[in-house]
Chains A and B, each alone.
Chain A
């Protein structure tokens, strides 16, 4: 096949998305009024699909910290930490993350995607094995793929499926990394981490948990599902992102293992990328402070999530299995999902469109992500507009 011809499939898929109305991949927010409200095509729109769980993107203290950092340190770092040096804020942010997770080592990456690529390619190599939850995020699949380790999948959140596979590895289980997420991003369901930790330890394997969607959402300190389940100290590597609850951009890894410090010398996605900018580090550090000092943010988030989940459930929608700030509404098929997504957008509600093959079970979903910044009136409006889909 000639080089450019393979894009015809992607082209057909893209034009199919616009058949029913607006293409969900082409939404433009002309203006942002707050963490939960924007303007799309002249319409004031409630943002219910932003992963902005704590609603900190417009927090005055975070904005002030970012502005001050940009004024005092400039707009960018213009290079990687290995070649061009670190800023004091890189180290300070790493120390604050290590303190939050109560572990000895932390490393900051430029994006959450780079964190997963950087950690997995450093940890794994030829001859190693990785057992990956089948619903894991693309960045985890890509990191495992780049590492050249042998990748084996197990059924989503199925501890028996995990154990059967780890057992089949025999002596290789000591060279195995189990990779799961805390809360999964499509359905908002959580990994059974207590059981996964027990199996991983019993077979001498190591465990990596991606808390991208669960940082700030679960656990007393907001560390994620591992903290909430009481097994944070048993997890070998925790990865996460600054781009969701912390309202910035970037990724990190924390670990009780000192080898994490050596990743700086072996992890290409760390070594060969420009480091996070002063403004990003400053807003992230301020957001971490807010996370620790304002537990009411998490309480409001959960209260909003419970209200939306029960409101949609009462309307008869088929939802994900657990109440969480990610609420996925299952649609009959791809066409009805596209039609309903368009109807919601025209009614001033922005949610995410999730289509196969990037979805569990090949189903189509309208995914809402709820924020602590949503007002009770906004939640009522979201429920009301979903109700109109039924009429």
Chain B
């Protein structure tokens, strides 16, 4: 499995795009183009609940557990990719 931050970021953008379409289709964010550089809070305007719900999908995809404390400094998809890689090690 490719474990680079770019590859993980790309995959996370894909998971988030599909997650928003499936679960938050009413939100204007569900139609936005999401990339590794996207800021989840300022650009997508996800609230803390939505970010935590999305994390459950990420955990299941990578078969990891991420503690809530690790989420406090995550703003962009790239930030999240770094946390995912860290928890895979």
Contact = CB atoms under 8 A, between A and B. Distances in A.
Contact of A168 (B24, B56, B65, B68): B65
B64 A153 contact: no
Interface stretch (B2-10, B35-43, B45-53, B78-86): B45-53
B49 A362 contact: yes
Given A164-B60, A165-B59, A168-B63, A151 B69 contact: yes
**Consensus secondary structure, chain B interface:** helix
Given A151-B67, A168-B65, A357 B60 contact: no
Contacts of B15: none
Contacts of A53: none
Secondary structure of the A contact surface, majority rule: mixed
A61 to B, nearest CB: 43
Given A134-B56, A155-B56, A362-B24, A357 B64 contact: no
B24 A150 contact: no
A151 B49 CA distance: 15
Chain A interface size, under 10 / 10 to 19 / 20 to 34 / 35 or more: 10 to 19
B63 A356 contact: no
A360 to B, nearest CB: 9
A357 B49 CA distance: 6
A87 interface: no
B50 A150 contact: no
B65 A165 contact: yes
Question: Could you say which of B55, B59, B60, B64 has the most chain A C-beta atoms within 10 Å of its C-beta?
Answer: B59
A362 B52 contact: no
Interface string A130-174: 000010000000000100001111110000010011001100000
A77 B49 CA distance: 40
Interface residues of B, number: 20
A357 B56 contact: no
Given A168-B63, A362-B24, A154 B56 contact: yes
Contacts of A168: 63-65
A357 B47 contact: yes
B74 interface: no
A169 B56 contact: no
B44 interface: no
Contacts of B64: 168
Contacts of A161: 56, 60
A151 B56 contact: no
Interface in A192-227: none
B49 A356 contact: yes
B49 A153 contact: no
A362 B47 contact: yes
A357 B50 CA distance: 8
Given A153-B52, A362-B50, 13 more contacts: A134-B53, A134-B56, A152-B65, A152-B68, A153-B55, A155-B56, A165-B59, A169-B65, A333-B26, A356-B49, A357-B47, A357-B50, A361-B23
18 contacts: A145-B68, A150-B67, A151-B67, A152-B65, A152-B66, A153-B52, A155-B56, A164-B63, A168-B63, A168-B65, A169-B65, A356-B47, A357-B47, A357-B48, A357-B50, A362-B47, A362-B49, A362-B50
Interface of A: 134, 145, 150-155, 161, 164-165, 168-169, 333, 356-357, 361-362
Interface of B: 23-24, 26, 47-50, 52-53, 55-56, 59-60, 63-69
Query: A-B pairs with the 4 shortest C-beta distances?
Result: A357-B49, A150-B67, A151-B68, A152-B65
